[in-house]
Amino acid sequence: MNSIVRNALAAAGFVAATLASSVALAVVEGEASPGGNDSLGTAQPLTVSNGAAEVTGSIGSTTYSVSAVPDVDFYSFTATAGDMLTIDINGGIKDGGPLNPIRSVDTVIALFMADGTMLYLNDDADDLDLGSIATNDSRIVNAVLPATGTYFVGVAGTGMQSMHLFSDGGVQTGPSTVDPNTGNGSYTLTIAGVTTPPVDTPPVDTPPVEPPVVTTPPPVVAGAQQINIDIRPRHAGVTKIWANTDGKIAVALLSSGSFNAMKVDRTSITFGAEGKEASLIRCHSEGIDVNRDRRKDLVCLFDLKKASFEIGDLEGVVKGTVEGNPFEGHAPLKVVQHGKKRKHQHDNDRWERHANRR
């Protein structure tokens, strides 16, 4: 981004910061050198305030007087396992159509783990929200984080003719040309729902005191209690499964201070790409402390084919009721094509054997 664009965005950023001061500390995208934040390795760090971060940035040029150019922006932040994020683009599409000298950008956004694994991807929002006049402003909702650490958000312009998407490692796919109509422009990115991990403190010369076990319940969204789940319990990293395949998969419903998995109505449990798939085979008759928090968790076995996962699905969803009240849980996964060798098969079999015990 050149100095003229940065100055223009600084003014826009001041207005955005005034409007959003109660939510997050607004900053302006900074590219200190060519390619300044165009990769995961050079991502611009964001500061989280009041559980959110906000940045005003631009893809390429912001006015029609300057030719459109290829560009992509990456931002980094730290968050805590179990955080449920909303990642929202506002102001990408401008009012006024072709008579407006300020460019509109049709965005696509993606969320990545520290190792470059892509967790979530969105091109168009499902509906309009405050700050957007078109669903072309991308939005990711209910993004559950699997681990504590660094995460990245990538922002790019899709345009109408030259599609630019993301894949693992932050790599863009699609033509290198840029649509002059909606491939460049300014935007505001907001990341909400972030819990900043505690800062490590140096050891002191006092006997260690084991802290009490404290579990913070996830936020309640749309009337259903949000719970934590573990797909293929204790499996390291994001679980990978085959699309439209025969087989079984174990999923643990994790108890917390506000949720007792052992009281779940097992006949109400559904699991799959949307969370409404009747794929349950059976649940373990006794609780298992999967995450070693001294609470019994419910491990259930599901039919993969009935779960209806397809290539491109990035999460699994469990729904059901507990003592008459609805709940739901989300966890990341990755659907792969047939023929790729699945790792840790012995771990998968172990949990399936647990769920098979009545």
Reported as a pLDDT band with limits 50, 70 and 90, residue 101 is confident
* % of the chain at pLDDT higher than 90: 54
Helix (H, G, I), strand (E, B) or coil at 110: strand
CA 7 to CA 13: how far, in whole Å? 10
Average pLDDT over residues 213-222: 53
Q: What are phi and psi of 168, to 5 degrees?
A: -55, 140
pLDDT value of residue 350: 55
Separation CA 271–CA 280 (nearest Å): 7
Q: What is the pLDDT of residue 344?
A: 44
pLDDT value at 1 more than 50: no
Token pair for 238: 């994001």
Residue 215 has pLDDT above 70, yes or no: no
Is residue 157 over pLDDT 80?
yes
Say what the pLDDT of residue 190 is: 97
pLDDT at residue number 275: 94
Q: What are the residues facing 349 on neighbouring strands?
A: none
What's the confidence (pLDDT) of residue 339?
Answer: 61
Residues near 97 by beta carbon (within 8 Å), at least 6 away in sequence:
none
The per-residue pLDDT for 351 is 54
Q: Which of 12, 24, 11 is nearest to 77 (CA)?
A: 24
Give the Cα separation of 320 and 277 in Å (integer).
11
- pLDDT in the model for residue 317: 96
**Which pLDDT score is estimated for 15?**
37
What's the pLDDT tens digit per position in 324-351? 999 999 999 988 876 654 444 444 555 5
**pLDDT of the residue at 346:** 44
pTM beyond cutoff 0.85? no
For the chain, the maximum distance between any two Cα atoms, rounded to a whole number of angstroms, is: 70
Whether 23 shows a pLDDT value over 50: the answer reads no
- Structure tokens that stand for 245 in this block: 């395949």
